[in-house]
Amino acid sequence: MYEEWLTAQRGSRVEIRIPQRGTKRELAETVTKNAVDAFQRHRLKRAADHNSRAKALNDLEQYLSLPVAPLRIECYDMSHLQGTDYVGSMVVLEDGLPRKSEYRRFKVNVPQNDDFAAMEEVLTRRFAAYVADKELPIAERGRFAYPPQLLLVDGGKGQLSVAVRVLEQLGLTDEIPVASLAKQFEEVFLPGNSQPVSIPRGSEALFMLQRIRDESHRFAISFHRERRDKRMTASVLDGIAGLGPRRKERLIKELGGIRAVKAADLQEFTSLTWLPHDVAQAVYEKLRSTP
């Protein structure tokens, strides 16, 4: 595609070559890294700019026909590996900035490879809790006490339909606006409209939606990897006499993660004063004998 466009611009054939080795490959990797770093700095600068954030929120109110500017936006994403270790993430922007203390992670129990069912379970749990608590005094409400001014789901029309159905079932359709952001073409969809909303490319409004979508994706993937690694390592460490659930958890935490446990040598295990020497020896031998 790029070769065709460049050929048309130049008027003669253009061939794009990607170096596979040597100094040219190293140079290409350096240029790519510098470009990524510069882009990340630009994204952070835009995100921190109060005027940019205010404009983005006001523009979202107009583009999405919201009753008010979405000072609180919640975005949801699912992650799994071939239907295993399904998890969901909830990421929050308040006044256009990440509110990490409000982030939530969900363990999901659904049939394999059913993103719609996973999304429905997560949204139902979140907003059923809100409905149950919203009549209570503020001091007595739980961790889902506050509704978003915009509920954003990662995906297309299918995920949007799930969100709409959950809100309808809980009687929240008129209270919580919802939209979806599809990955492939960065298109934003609203309920009842088969065509995407026209939000200018490169605008602060679209950038804000992309940023919270990307953050929800990152948060979901990190939780999924954490659960998967724990499950895989727990199975490797099963059956070792003297190594119960608490010691497994402590071992993983103190050595710095699953990969560190697998890579540790005998001295690292025996240096843990709380781990009996014979158990340390058994752990080391089990890991060495496991492919």
Q: Supply angle C-alpha 105, 106, 110, rounded to 5.
A: 155
pLDDT of residue 67: 97
CATH number for region 51-221? 3.30.420.340
The answer to whether 243 and 283 are in contact (CB under 8 A) is: yes
Residue 71 CB neighbours (<10 A): 13
Q: Which two tokens stand for residue 147?
A: 């509704």
pLDDT at 2: 63
**How far is Cα 142 from Cα 122, in angstroms, rounded to an integer?**
16
The residues with which 152 forms a beta bridge, in sequence order, are 75, 179
In 95-167 the beta strands, taken as DSSP E runs, fall at 97-98, 104-107, 150-154
Pairing of strands 72-81, 150-154: parallel
Q: Classify strands 178-182 and 150-154 as parallel, antiparallel or unpaired.
A: parallel
Amino acid at 17: R
Q: Which of 139, 165, 133, 132 is nearest to 151 (CA)?
A: 165
pLDDT tens sequence across 69-116:
999 999 999 886 555 567 889 999 999 999 999 999 888 887 767 889
Q: Give me the residue spans of the domains in the chain.
A: 2-47, 51-221, 238-289
Please give the torsion angle defined by the CA atoms of residues 199, 43, 103 and 233, in that order, rounded to the nearest 10 degrees: 120
Q: Give every CB contact of residue 21 below 8 A, 6+ residues apart in sequence.
A: none
Angle at 156 between CA 121 and CA 96, to 5 degrees: 80
Residue 45, amino acid:
K
Per-run averaged pLDDT (10 residues), the chain, 291 residues: 67 74 75 78 68 93 97 91 72 94 88 84 95 86 90 94 98 97 90 93 93 90 67 70 88 83 91 94 87 62
pLDDT of residue 52: 86
Rg (CA), the chain: 24
Residue 187 to residue 201: CA distance in whole angstroms: 10
Q: Measured on CA atoms in the order 208, 214, 218, 219, is the torsion positive or negative?
A: positive
